[in-house]
Amino acid sequence: MTHEERNLNRREFIRLGAAGVAAASVGDLSGLAAEAVGGGKLPKRRYGRTGLEISRLVGAADWSRSIIPLAVASGVNYWHKAQKWTAETMPEALKQQPRESYYLEVVVDRVGGDHNHGRIDEEQHYQFVKESVKNSGLGYYDVFKFHFGYHSIKEAKTNHGMVRAFERLKREGLVRHLALSQHHYNNLGGDMAWEILGYLAEHSAYEAGQFFYTYGDRKELQELLELAGRKDFGTIAMKTMGGVGRAAQDPKFQKLLAESRFKGSTPAAAMVRWLGANSNLSAAVVSMKSFGEFQENVGAAMRLAMGPHDRSALGLLSSYNKGLTCLLCSQCVSRCPEHIGIADVFRYERYARDYQDLSRARREYAALTKNGTSCVGCGDCVDSCPHEIDVAAKLKEVHRLLG
Ligand code: SF4
Ligand code: SF4
């Protein structure tokens, strides 16, 4: 598709306006969606032992209302955080489809505190999902997902409250499959995400897991994906686009990207293709707030073969991120005697700088029990970051931005 045709599509999108797009039928939008991303539907992959065939890019209920219908028309058939939609706010684009043609996930948080300090409570999780099903008017959710996951393998082995809540709901026909999104908990003296997921993939009722994963990530995540492939454990990558949003706003980066060795690629498109090239990864969830991001990401996922220009674009992004963007590996966290959730602090900085969502970043930062001001400057984290971030200096900088 030529640049001119892309602009025509964008003009059509703007002419309809966000409300017009949100209200239009998928049939009406399918031509616009197909033109925007070069035609076709997103390829699907098996979501591990759930047996569900899900689109390589999955959607989230917090995406822009005007992007959701285009995504549905392009074949996005799995929706994360769907408990945010009630019968009234459920996008028309989904209501118009047969219920069996798409998958909705309810995410279930700990209660009595956040993901670090809250507790697992079978009865409250059971009631929460039951109420969400009622409010959605849908009859059931396809996937029950434990949000943020276990603190340690020990907790996963001994605390069965989340699994029991799922089993009760499943018996009543309100949910069908069990999954979790797993964070690292070395700030609490717990385990890393890949350790917990590795245990669950082999020994538990969980059928799939979601976790941070990006280009240049730790080898343990690559090993986890290989294990997931062998055990038929579904996998979704999240927080894949570190630095992409800020690079898109940086004139110096954009000037470099205009060089011929990157022609036809961008960091976001290259990342989508790189993720898709791993056959053990079922899908990725990638934030999409604008028509341009939809066009770039979904367009890339339609044609997955990586080319040399994609490799160059990922190399450029990696260099750009050095010393600047936290990739959430949590390696520095084990060194900190103050037990600061450094990766949480820097994840919120990414919401501000990469997603341009300063209010969400400030809201989440304000809820931390330890923040950038908890750093005592002991220096124990010096040289711990594989991406050359000066952790103590960045904590101060992020506090100025979000505090
Ligand atoms: S310098 Fe700050 S962040 Fe680094 S280990 Fe010490 S207290 Fe933790
Ligand atoms: S600051 Fe560096 S070591 Fe710490 S979580 Fe981020 S990328 Fe990993």
Give the CATH number, domain containing residue 83: 3.20.20.100
Q: How many C-beta atoms surround the C-beta of residue 402 within 10 A?
A: 21
Quick one: pLDDT band at residue 15, thresholds 50, 70, 90?
low
Mean pLDDT of the chain: 91
Cα angle 260-261-264, degrees, rounded to a multiple of 5: 75
Query: Which backbone phi and psi does 208 adopt, to 5 degrees?
Result: -165, 160
Residue 255 corresponds to which amino acid? K
CB 46 within 8 A of CB 282: yes
Evaluate whether residue 111 is within a structural domain: yes
Q: What is the mean pLDDT of residues 48-75?
A: 92
327 within a domain of the structure (yes/no)? no
Q: How far is residue 167's CA from residue 205's CA, in Å, rounded to a whole number?
A: 10
The residue among 127, 281, 261 whose CA lies nearest residue 217 is 281
Counting ligand 2 atoms within 8 A of each CB, the residue from 211, 215, 320, 326 with the most, and so the one to mutate, is: 326
Are residues 343 and 265 part of one domain? no
The band of 288, judged by pLDDT with boundaries at 50, 70 and 90, is: confident
385 CA closest ligand 2 atom index: 3
Does any ligand 2 atom lie closer than 6 A to the CB of residue 391? yes
Q: Which residue carries 């025509």 as its tokens?
A: 8
Query: Is there a single domain that holds both residue 194 and residue 294?
Result: yes
Q: Does 141 fall in a domain? A: yes
What is the β-pairing status of strands 234-238 and 208-212? Answer: parallel
pTM: 0.91
For residues 303 and 346, state if they share a domain. no
Q: Is residue 220 exposed (0-12), middle (13-18) or buried (19+ Cβ within 10 Å)? A: middle
Residues sharing a CB contact under 8 Å with residue 72, sequence separation 6 or more, in sequence order: 26, 59, 91, 93, 94, 97, 102
Report the C-alpha gap between 40 and 396 in whole angstroms. Answer: 47
Amino acid, res. 243 = G
Q: Domain boundary at 321, 351, 375, which?
A: 321
The reply to whether 301 and 389 lie within a common domain is no
Is 348 a domain residue? yes
What integer pLDDT is reported at residue 283 of this predicted model? 97
Mean pLDDT, rounded, for 18-47 = 71
* pLDDT confidence of residue 4: 46
Q: Which residues pair with 322 in a beta bridge?
A: none
SS3 (DSSP) at 269? helix
In a shared domain, residues 241 and 349: no
Domain that includes residue 347, residue range:
333-402
Query: For residue 289, how far is its CA from the centre of ligand 1 (angstroms)?
Result: 35
Cβ count near 335 (within 10 Å): 17
Domain check: are 118 and 232 in the same one? Answer: yes
Nearest alpha-carbon partner for 262 in 247, 284, 278: 247
User: Do both 20 and 154 map to the same domain?
Assistant: yes
- The ligand that comes nearest to the alpha carbon of residue 371 is 1
Cα distances (Å, whole numbers) of residue 169 to 144, 177, 178, 186:
9, 10, 11, 32
Type of residue numbered 9: N
Is 2 a domain residue?
A: no
Give per-residue pLDDT as tens, 153-185: 999 999 999 999 999 999 999 999 999 999 999
Expressed in angstroms and rounded, the spacing between residue 191 Cα and the centre of ligand 1 is 20
Q: Within this chain, do residues 17 and 90 fall inside the same structural domain, yes or no?
A: yes
Task: Estimate to the nearest angstrom the gap between the alpha carbon of 237 and the chain centroid.
Answer: 6
> What single string gives the DSSP state of each residue in 321-388?
HTTT------TTGGG-TT---HHHHHHHHHHHHTS--HHHHHHHHHT-SS-GGG-----TTTT--TT-
- Does 5 score more than 50 pLDDT? no
> Measuring from atom 2 of ligand 1, which residue has the nearest CA?
375
Give Cα separations from 325 to 19, 151, 336 (angstroms): 35, 25, 19
66 found inside a domain: yes
Alpha-carbon Rg for the chain in angstroms: 21
**Whether residue 186 is found in the same domain as residue 266:** yes
Residue 148 counted as domain residue: yes
Verify that 86 and 175 share a domain, yes or no: yes
* CA of 395, closest atom in ligand 1: 3
390 and 241, same domain (yes or no)? no
In this prediction, residues 325-331 reach a mean pLDDT of 94
> Residue 151 has which token pair?
């603190």
Give the least confident one: 15-19, 53-57, 88-92, 137-141.
15-19
Place of tokens 């047969």: 98
**315 pLDDT tier (thresholds 50, 70, 90):** very high
DSSP 20-72: HHHHS-HHHHHHHHHHHHTSS---EEE-GGG--EEESEEEETTS-TTTHHHHH
Q: Out of 14-23, 180-189, 273-282, 292-301, which region has the weakest mean confidence (pLDDT)?
A: 14-23
Residue 4 lies in a domain: no
Which residue, of 321, 343, 358, is where some domain finishes? Answer: 321
Does residue 163 contact residue 205 with C-beta atoms inside 8 Å?
Answer: yes
Per-residue pLDDT at 1 exceeds 50:
no
Contact 206, 196 (CB under 8 A): no
Range name among 14-23, 273-282, 292-301 with the lowest pLDDT average: 14-23
How many domains does the structure of the chain reveal? 2
* Residue where one domain finishes, among candidates 321, 354, 384: 321
346 lines ligand 2 (CB under 6 A): yes
Residue position matching structure tokens 């409570």: 121
User: Which ligand is nearest to the Cα of residue 321, counting in written order?
Assistant: 2
Contacts of 392 (CB under 8 A, 6+ apart): 375, 377, 379, 381, 382
What is the predicted pLDDT for the residue at 264? Answer: 84
Residue at 379: amino acid letter: G
Distance (Å, whole) CA 266 – CA 306: 12
Q: What angle do CA 45, 62, 372 make, to 5 degrees?
A: 105
Domain shared by 306 and 267, yes or no: yes
